[in-house]
Structure 1
């Protein structure tokens, strides 16, 4: 039976959540919209296609959504060289593959950012996805489903596509409530990490089976993760 670990990237493997918060704050200010930093941070982990409306409302999305996203990208790019991998990121991925687990990265970030993170993490030859691969990002399950299709055969049956494979099981690991929610929508268990600034209780409330303080603690328990069977698509 094949077990797959679907790993989030931002806030899970690389320490970017607060860089993203600052970049979004500056982006909103560029269109004369002021939002509190805590509200932006609470939205980090969902895709930029959803974040503007979630943080500032539908009117701001309608009037300035694309402009804000472009400004966010510009401001985040200015900080990209400051980004560091979280302690234990490389060790976690290598330990998982050494155990015979399949690892795939599912990121709501842009492709060029994920490519930069891969250089920092040095995860070896593993599959990965980015926001550029889907139309609907987290907390929608699309990124997880695309990631699973990269490592196992699948067939699409309209809305609600699921990657399939005989004896195929998976678990989602992430730092935000949006990761946990996306996993639940994909019908999979999730594991939470405190590395992105979300609290243990709220991660559990959104569906996490367990929460770990850091990557090395998680690495020690990789063999005991609650893998769930990947559902067959609806006929």
Structure 2
């Protein structure tokens, strides 16, 4: 194992509930009264332009962009006090001590990425933003791009994802993927291809797996 690849939202910190609140707030004036199940089915894990075009196809491109900007601004307002998921900082230290590269692979827009990383005091060897690529998750391209930029084969990396969409992206790139049960149905993560499910990074099953793996 030569690299750990992380998703952002719901993986580094419990931000999904904040995204959910922000989305439901900005959609309400457009006549969409969603709930948690609606958010998980139609929004979580997808790119913003896709979400808007699917849910609000009558909006112009300018109107859609304004709605996305309002949603992300509201998210950052809500995300003022973030904490890393339990065990994550220990995992970062573990990787650093063993010269295992650490990369962030996310569908999140750059301002959100910068906000969350600053709040967590986190730094990565590589950051791959889906918005700068031809396709985002669940397409494998973001993870394939990470492997290419790190100069690694898929078998040399381990990915962490919290959504079925993210798991499909990593698995589609041939990467072993661990699913975090922070916000989605565990069965959906397994069906998407996760080989192991953990509650957070302090989960003993993760550390048992790392102990068994050669680095």
- Tell me the secondary structure at the aligned position of residue 107 of structure 2: coil
- Tell me the secondary structure at the aligned position of residue 9 of structure 1: coil
Residues 130 and 137 in structure 2, CA contact (< 8 A), matched pair in contact too: no
CA distance in 1, matches of 2:164, 2:213: 18
Going from structure 1 to structure 2, the CA distance change for 1:112 and 1:141 (only over 3 Å counts) comes to same
CA distance in 2, matches of 1:46, 1:216: 27
Say if 2:183 is the partner of 1:184: no
Q: Normalising by structure 2, what TM-score?
A: 0.84
Going from structure 1 to structure 2, the CA distance change for 1:44 and 1:125 (only over 3 Å counts) comes to closer
The match for 2:187 among 197, 201, 206 is 201
- CA RMSD, Structure 1 to Structure 2 (Å): 2.7
Residues 138 and 182 in structure 1, CA contact (< 8 A), matched pair in contact too: yes
The within-5 A match list for 1:91-102 is 91-102=90-101
Going from structure 1 to structure 2, the CA distance change for 1:120 and 1:150 (only over 3 Å counts) comes to farther
CA distance in 1, matches of 2:165, 2:40: 12
- Tell me the secondary structure at the aligned position of residue 221 of structure 1: helix
For residue 44 of structure 1, what is the aligned residue in structure 2? 44
List gaps (5 residues or longer) in structure 2: none
Deviations 1:52-73 (A, max 9, x none): 345x26x356675323312211
CA distance in 1, matches of 2:49, 2:211: 35
Going from structure 1 to structure 2, the CA distance change for 1:35 and 1:61 (only over 3 Å counts) comes to farther
List gaps (5 residues or longer) in structure 1: 153-163, 228-235
Going from structure 1 to structure 2, the CA distance change for 1:186 and 1:62 (only over 3 Å counts) comes to farther
Going from structure 1 to structure 2, the CA distance change for 1:170 and 1:21 (only over 3 Å counts) comes to same
Which segment is superposed worse, 89-98 or 11-20? 89-98
Say if 2:2 is the partner of 1:16: no
Deviations 1:110-146 (A, max 9, x none): 2122222223333445222224432422111222122
Deviations 1:148-190 (A, max 9, x none): 23322xxxxxxxxxxx56x962222111111111113223221
For these two proteins, the number of residue pairs brought into alignment is 211
Going from structure 1 to structure 2, the CA distance change for 1:67 and 1:225 (only over 3 Å counts) comes to farther
Going from structure 1 to structure 2, the CA distance change for 1:139 and 1:62 (only over 3 Å counts) comes to farther
Going from structure 1 to structure 2, the CA distance change for 1:133 and 1:219 (only over 3 Å counts) comes to farther
CA distance in 1, matches of 2:214, 2:27: 40
For residue 142 of structure 1, what is the aligned residue in structure 2? 141
